[in-house]
Chains A and B, each alone.
Chain A
């Protein structure tokens, strides 16, 4: 049974800081991993998708890496801004399911 863990559960940083969010999963038989952003009271927005054959993806200030053999992914956010404050969710897809971690709640202080 796939289990997805995200560390830390919450993070508060000053504006401008670079930060790393961590995601680990127990079953390496996945075909992709996605990072999502969720704002309070809103749905989820897909940020980055890494296919199982890929090692990283970049979009603007975001960079996500995937090490499938060790069951780990990181989301790197450069030069954080108050608008980055949200919950970040990691999701792994395999078989018929996409399983989510509990998320990291990020607060960027101005």
Chain B
């Protein structure tokens, strides 16, 4: 697509429910990143994909968080048994490839998650 697309744009859920957030990167971008931004805070790195594999999962906050990417394209971030502290904006970015000095990240508009 022309840009990075994220859905849903807004999600309100009850504590304990599972949620799935989707990211559709720019066509041809092999690198995909998930970040979390809590209210008034900076961006917290969650996970990075190169193709379908995730060399670095160190940013995932707990084992309730998981992510996958299929076909080197769409990625899904799943949060199980949501907690109120999971409330944040989840941002996805893609780039041509990691490890390049010219690697420019293009961000989606984000998915705002509110856990009641």
Contact = CB atoms under 8 A, between A and B. Distances in A.
The answer on A and B forming one complex is yes
A51 B56 CA distance: 22
Interface residues of A, number: 25
A96 B107 contact: no
Contacts, number: 62
A31 B99 contact: yes
Contact of A89 (B42, B45, B98): B42
Contacts of B105: 34, 44, 46, 91, 98
6 closest A-B pairs by beta carbon, nearest first, are A51-B101, A102-B42, A100-B43, A96-B56, A44-B107, A43-B107
A81 interface: no
A32 B42 contact: no
Given A42-B109, A44-B91, A44-B107, A98 B102 contact: no
A93 B110 CA distance: 21
Nearest to B109: A43
B52 to A, nearest CB: 15
A101 B93 CA distance: 16
Interface residues of B, number: 27
Interface of B: 4, 33, 35, 41-43, 45, 48, 50, 55-56, 59, 91, 93, 98-110
Given A49-B102, A49-B104, A97 B45 contact: yes
Contacts of B50: 96
A32 B101 contact: yes
Given A44-B91, A89-B43, A97-B56, A31 B110 contact: no
A93 B103 contact: yes
Contacts of A101: 42
A52 B101 contact: yes
B106 A46 contact: yes
